[in-house]
């Protein structure tokens, strides 16, 4: 089977590496609109070969759209148009790997090739981006959410199930709007809190050497996501705006409760809030 | 040299292990007011032997006060009283390892044994607590802040410098109030943001299985500090109240800027805020 990867960054690149290495793909072809990324991906050996955008679609049995969420929304209808024009189009499968799903679900909408598209969100990554951040094993053991699988052909769903099984992912199925709500709480909001934390310390500690010298391991892990790519995260936050604003409001309310208790010298309330938060110990390893 | 550790949790226990293993201490004696902690520390072999509180002080050349910040403030004057009563008191050295320093600096105040006390903050730890969380190598490569060393005898300072060098720490010196200001920004605030994040997701995701199934690696690292001990963190936040409130206000302002830009659909401002936050890439590994 030939797998075409559009977007050779962290996610697309890591998929290309393991789909080939683990035998799901006999050949991988890749395209990246950024010429530096494309050249680096070829040099590193992330894909077997580069192709232009059209060829990457026409040559491949499975097309992975591994681009930022805004770009994916722009490209998806065109990709589906293209496979409709091909004789082999009815067997091709298109997947995306975006962190937001409702906007893409609308884009695919009532396209006559809708059933060849499978919406997925492999929930794995690092704070780094670009082909040089791609790595084998990135997805192992993590969850992948497949959205609205009933809108896709069953053979397409089965192929994508196999693809993620090869990548070592646990597959969960839900509808797009449920996905976006959960994603706001267990992923998107934590990026915002991290970005805001970085801005806070950068604002206060004018001498960056102090941050470098003094930052604790705890601080580093909490601020890690603030290294994430604005190109990737801007469209995610904008597309998931409503869920995210609700999450931000709950978050600011909780932070406000801490602030008030600390300002009041109310140690008991501070302790109680922390004890309640400690429940996360039993859930997150 | 005999080192006495009062408080056999993560920090005290980890110090006991490496000070003995690496030859700084010929013998370690330990005390913990919590009988389960004390018995576990003995069973695990964290100290050579347990002693009662008085003996732990009288028998030791160096006394490490490794208890929560509130308890340390209560105990410190009494520890200094006790070494004053002993013939060998003028050679003993007392250190604390708390994350806040101004309150302790006041407690030591003008005590006649003030010069035998050295205020330190080894900036290392994990989100776990208790003697079972203690480990060799916890401090290696991290920073340790020594506060107001000019208020301590130079022989005491030298001994403590050697102690932290044995633990593999980089020693920095500053005054207590500077320490507390920096600590608010590079450590304390990140605990608060993490606790608030845990409360947010626990509030929204009533079915904890969803958190377990869906939480991304990024979420896990951002919420990790919410597992921290309320016993340890309540007194830290209360003692460093003023600096912390300032940090919280800056933080909420930054989060508010994100909220406003997202609500307005202003992608350019969201991207700009994130790009600014990305500066942390160059500072934090």
Q: Give the gap in angstroms from C-alpha B234 to the nearest C-alpha of chain A.
A: 6
Q: How many angstroms separate the Cα of A267 from the Cα of each of A57, B227, B239?
A: 61, 18, 10
Q: What is the pLDDT of residue A86?
A: 73
Identify which of B143, B198, B214 has the shortest CB distance to residue A280. Answer: B198
Contact A251, B197 (CB under 8 A): yes
Query: Which residue range(s) make up the domain with B143?
Result: 2-174
**Chain B contact set for A282 (CB, 8 A):** 208
**Number of domain units in chain B:** 2
Verify whether the Cβ–Cβ distance A205 to B186 is below 8 Å: yes
pTM as predicted: 0.91
Which three-class secondary structure state does DSSP give residue B71? helix
Whether residue B2 is predicted with pLDDT greater than 80 in this model: the reply is yes
Within an 8 Å CB–CB cutoff, is residue B43 touching chain A? no
Query: Residue B7 — very low, low, confident or very high, per pLDDT cuts 50/70/90?
Result: very high
* Same domain, yes or no: B125 and B6: yes
Within an 8 Å CB–CB cutoff, is residue A242 touching chain B? no
Distance from C-alpha of A79 to C-alpha of A89, rounded to nearest angstrom:
11
Verify whether the Cβ–Cβ distance A186 to B233 is below 8 Å: no
* Same domain, yes or no: A215 and A123: no
Q: How many angstroms separate the Cα of A174 from the Cα of each of A178, A236, B105?
A: 7, 19, 56
* Same domain, yes or no: B72 and B102: yes
Each residue of B31-63: pLDDT tens digit?
Answer: 999 999 999 999 999 999 999 999 999 999 999
Backbone region of residue B9 per phi and psi (left: phi > 0; alpha: psi in -120 to 50; beta: other values): beta
Verify whether the Cβ–Cβ distance A221 to B224 is below 8 Å: yes
Q: What is the pLDDT of residue B244?
A: 97
Q: What is the pLDDT of residue B206?
A: 83
* Same domain, yes or no: B59 and B127: yes
Verify whether the Cβ–Cβ distance B213 to A143 is below 8 Å: yes
**Chain B contact set for A255 (CB, 8 A):** 192-193, 196, 248, 251-252, 255
* Same domain, yes or no: A51 and A147: yes
Q: What is the pLDDT of residue A218?
A: 85
Which residues 158-177 of chain B have a CB within 8 Å of chain A? 170, 172
* Same domain, yes or no: A130 and A185: no
Q: What is the pLDDT of residue B214?
A: 84
Contact B150, B177 (CB under 8 A): no
Spatial CA neighbour of B29 closest among B11, B9, B41, B47:
B47
Distance from C-alpha of A108 to C-alpha of A98, rounded to nearest angstrom:
14
Instruction: Give the range among A239-248, B213-222, B238-247 with minimum mean pLDDT.
Output: B213-222
* Same domain, yes or no: A210 and A138: no
* Same domain, yes or no: A223 and A113: no
| A226-257 burial code (b ≥16 CB/10 A, e <16) | bbbbbbbbbbbbbbbbebbeebbebbbebbeb
| Mean pLDDT confidence for B214-224 | 87
Distance from C-alpha of A151 to C-alpha of A106, rounded to nearest angstrom:
12
- List per-block mean pLDDT (blocks of 10 residues) for chain A, which spans 285 residues: 97 98 98 97 96 96 97 96 81 96 94 96 92 96 96 97 98 96 94 96 87 84 93 96 97 97 98 97 87
Whether residue B11 is predicted with pLDDT greater than 90 in this model: the reply is yes
The CATH number covering residue B163 comes to 3.40.50.720
The CATH number covering residue A268 comes to 1.10.3660.10
Each residue of B98-120: pLDDT tens digit?
Answer: 999 999 999 998 899 999 999 99
The residue among A118, A148, A174 that closes a domain is A174
Strand order in the sheet with B2-6: B49-50, B27-31, B2-6, B62-65, B93-96, B117-122, B143-147, B170-174
* Same domain, yes or no: B125 and B165: yes
Whether residue B89 is predicted with pLDDT greater than 80 in this model: the reply is no
* Same domain, yes or no: B143 and B228: no
- Give the strand pairing for B62-65 and B2-6: parallel
Distance from C-alpha of A174 to C-alpha of A146, rounded to nearest angstrom:
7
The residue among B121, B144, B174 that closes a domain is B174
Strand-pair partners of B31: B6
Q: What is the pLDDT of residue B50?
A: 97
User: Which percentage of chain B shows pLDDT scores above 70?
Assistant: 100
* Same domain, yes or no: B124 and B187: no
Q: What is the pLDDT of residue A212?
A: 82
Q: What is the pLDDT of residue A210?
A: 84
* Same domain, yes or no: A216 and A102: no
The residue among A158, A174, A190 that closes a domain is A174
Distance from C-alpha of A85 to C-alpha of A113, rounded to nearest angstrom:
10
């Amino acid at each position: 089977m030939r797998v075409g990867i559009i977007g050779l960054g962290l996610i697309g690149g890591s998929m290309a590496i393991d789909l080939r290495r683990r035998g799901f793909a006999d050949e991988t072809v890749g395209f990246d609109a950024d010429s530096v990324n494309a050249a680096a991906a070829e040099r590193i050996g992330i894909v077997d070969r580069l192709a232009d955008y059209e060829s990457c679609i026409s040559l491949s049995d499975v097309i992975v759209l591994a681009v930022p969420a805004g770009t994916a929304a722009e490209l998806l209808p065109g990709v589906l148009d293209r496979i409709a024009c091909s004789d082999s189009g009815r067997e091709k499968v298109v997947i995306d790997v975006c962190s937001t799903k409702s906007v893409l679900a609308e884009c695919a909408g009532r396209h006559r090739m809708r059933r060849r598209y499978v919406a997925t969100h492999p929930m794995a990554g690092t704070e780094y981006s670009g082909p040089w951040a791609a790595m084998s094993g990135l997805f192992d053991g993590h969850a992948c959410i497949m959205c609205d699988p009933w809108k896709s052909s069953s053979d397409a769903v089965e192929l994508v199930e196999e693809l993620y099984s090869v990548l070592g992912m646990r597959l969960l199925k839900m509808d797009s709007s449920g996905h976006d709500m959960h994603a706001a709480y267990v992923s998107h909001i934590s990026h915002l809190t991290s970005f805001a934390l970085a801005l806070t310390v950068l604002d206060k500690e004018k001498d960056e050497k102090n941050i470098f010298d003094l930052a604790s391991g705890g601080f580093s892990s909490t601020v890690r996501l603030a290294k994430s790519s604005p190109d990737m995260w801007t469209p995610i936050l904008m597309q998931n705006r409503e869920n995210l604003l609700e999450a931000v409001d709950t978050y600011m309310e909780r932070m406000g409760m801490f602030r008030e208790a600390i300002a009041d010298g109310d140690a008991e309330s501070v302790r109680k809030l922390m004890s309640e938060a400690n429940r996360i110990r039993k859930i997150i390893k």
